[in-house]
Structure formats: C-alpha cells, structure tokens
Structure 1
Amino acid sequence: MDEVQVVVAHSERATLRVGDVFLKVDGDPGNLEVEVEAMRLAPVPTPEVLWRKPNVLALAAVRGAALGRLGEPSPASPDAWAAAGAAVRKLHEAPLPPWSAPTSEEIGAKLDGECEWLIANGVLPADLVIRNREVAELAFRPWEPVFAHGDLQITHVFTEGDEVTGIIDWSEASKGDPLNDLAIMTLGHEECLDDLLAGYGTDVDVDVIRAWWSLRSLQASRWLIEHGFDPNEPGAEFDVLRAAYERS
C-alpha cells in the first residue's frame, strides 16, 4: 500500500502524494479552476489532470526531479537550467491568459504594508527593510505583460537530463511581468541566473531581476512566518534581503 505523504499543508491549502498521484486541496476552488485552465493553455509540459472536484484536484506525477530547493545548491546542470529558460521563454511568448494579476499600484501598496509590518514587529532591522524597498522600486517600471506562471519556484520546474519534463503549481498564473518569473526561479540561486538567461535567449535587465528578488522576499516574509515557514533559513528570503543590502 502506498503511504500518504504530506507535501505541503497550511490553512489555505494542502498537497498530498499517494504513489504517483498528487491531491491538491484548496479552500478556494477558484484557485484550482485557474490552475487547470492555465495548464490547458500553457505551451510547456504540465502534469496530467486525472480528475477534479470543487475543492480537490488530482494530478499525475511528472518525470524527473526539481531544479533544486531554496537554501541548497541546485543539482541541475547548466544545460538543464538553459532548457528551463527556453521553456519559460516559450510560455512568455504564448497568447495571454484571460485573467489579470494585481496592478503595479496594488503590488506597491501591499509591499509598503509588508515593510511597515516587518519594521513595526522588529522582524528585520529598519535600514535593511528600507534599503530593499528602495531596490524593489525598479520592478515598477513599464513592462509588457506576458503569460506568466506567477510562482515559478525552482521546486516547481522538473527536468530529466537536460529536458524539462513538467512545470507544476499554476494557481498564480496570469498576465504578468516576465522578469518576475525569472526572478522567482533564481531567488537564492543567483549563481544559476546566467545559465537560465542563456536558454531564455533575450536581453534582460538583471537589475530588475534583483529588484524582484527584494520585492518577493519582503512581500512573502510575513505570510511565510504566519503559515509555519522560516524565511530565516540559510539561503532563504532573509538571506536574499541581507545580500541585497550588502550589495548596495
């Protein structure tokens, strides 16, 4: 009998694995609707949908292994990272999905609220938060929206050899900033950025990617803390913010 493995679980959603089947349980069925439609539209490998109920989605496991984990060196080869970059470029060149992400104004307002919370609660030194907020401002430049994954963590991109075998967790997919996807993939793995961009195949402003590293880390920290995760683990969000502070 296959054991039930809890992949992730918190108050909003949970993912379980039973053999080669993943069960995603979400308190908001709209998230699963977006995920299924995004996978249908995306021109890249995605998991097979086995069945769906209002709050539960069953997906087949994809071949291969994730590009890596936050806080650990990536085991994937430079060619695998380049293949991932090419897959992301293919996604970004696809027709736009019919739904939108938050506007820059909404993102900026939320970011300011998160910075205020981090300082008011003594979670991080004020000067570190303020400097990273300044770095993040560059992300709010004009940009052309693309079909964006929206949560393209390296644990969501699977490869086998030098082939991308699947991209998972599409509930945040929307019209979005292409450099946000590239930034999320390389958060805490700056050493892999050149290989990713070699496959992505276009001129990219690395300073904007760094801005998104700061933005993402500032914006995610409270959520991580409140849902039982630790952004202060080695290589995680707090280390990203400290590196940006030292770089500046």
Structure 2
Amino acid sequence: MKKLTFLIFSIFYYSIIAQAQTTDTLKAANPRFYVGLGLNGRYFEVSYNHQNYLLKNSGYFHAKPYLHFGYKLNKRIRLEAGVAYVNDKDHYYVTYVEAPKSYINYHDYNQTKGFVIPLKITHDFFHVFKGKVAVYGTGTILPTYSKTRVWKVEEKADVFNTTLDIQDSALSTFASLGIGASVRIWKKFSGYHEVNIWNRNLTSGRNMDPFSNVRSQIPLSHLSFGIGLNYDLNL
C-alpha cells in the first residue's frame, strides 16, 4: 500500500514538474513582452491659437527616435506604447547692405520642444519563410505636447537687438495608417520596416506634413517610412 501510494505521489509530482517546465518553455519560446527603438520619417505640423501668423504657422518638427514597450496580445496582434523627446531649431538670416562695409543681418529663429507618445497596434496578415517574416497592417495614434518659440534678431556692428519674441504651447493628436514587415534577425532580436500611407493631424484636420503642398507634385511624397529594432523579454 505504501509503495502504491508512493508511486501515485511520484507520478503526480513529476507530472506537475513536467507541466511547469513545459509552460516555462512555451513562455521562453513565445515571449509576450518586448522593448524596442523606432524611427519614423514623419513631419508633424502643430496648430497654435495665436494671433500672430508667424507663430500660428511655424510650429512643426521632425520625428525623433523613440523607445517603446510592446505586448503580444496573441499570435497576430501587438500593442505598443512609446515616448520621444523633440527639440528642433531652425535659423535663417538675410543680409542687408546699408552702405559700403555697413551690414545689417536679420535673423529668424524657430524652436519647437515637446513630447510625443506613440500608441501603436499591429495586426499580422500572414507569415512567410517558416514564420520568420510577418507582413502586417499598423495604426498609430500620437498624442503630442509641444511648445514653439519664434524670435527675430537684428544684428548690426556686433550689436544684437531682439525685435520679436513670442511663444505658445498646444496639445495635439496625430494619426497614421500603414503596412509593414517584421523579420526575425537573431534569437530575441527582430527588425521591422513600415510605410505609412495615411498621416493626419486629428486636431486641425489637416495633413500632418507642413510641406505637403510643396511636395504634392512629387510621386509618393505623401508616404513616410519607419524602421526599428525589437528585443523580446521573458517576463
């Protein structure tokens, strides 16, 4: 009786151990969490409710690399949240010749700082090459806080005089839709490439690219491209 009880206990014990090891193995083989670094070539145009047209039309910045944390909801759907810091500054100037050896430089400055929080969902359409390559659709919502400063400086004989200095801040929401492909590079590392077909400033209702009118004659100029690298976590 004792031997039978011991045998049953042993079978039960090792069954639990085997089940636990199998579960751990599955988790290791299919980690649900990952971190990554991404970059997308988007431009962001920000609209400010400011009476000065210079500031109202000057708030724009280019996308910066961003860190993100992801979760695999299932075999096809992934959710991501990230953060990026923005600090873009433009400087232009013209020189007016007042008299021989007498010059006046008119400087125009534009600086935008802010934070972008990309919230992305991807859905795999199909896999190829034994599951190493996934082709997917992607949608991104990008809440943004930005602050833009515009100032003008007049320079004459090494004397600088500020003739204008205004600034404003805004909360904006941008959105993008596109397609992409992810590739398993090595063990826990995978890379991806995306093409955003639709980009929009949901706050203003306009194209999020401030140069869209200028580049409208260029084929495929409305597209923006993104790349990134992900690392799987065993949590």
TM-score (norm 2): 0.23
TM-score (norm 1): 0.22
Higher strand share: 2
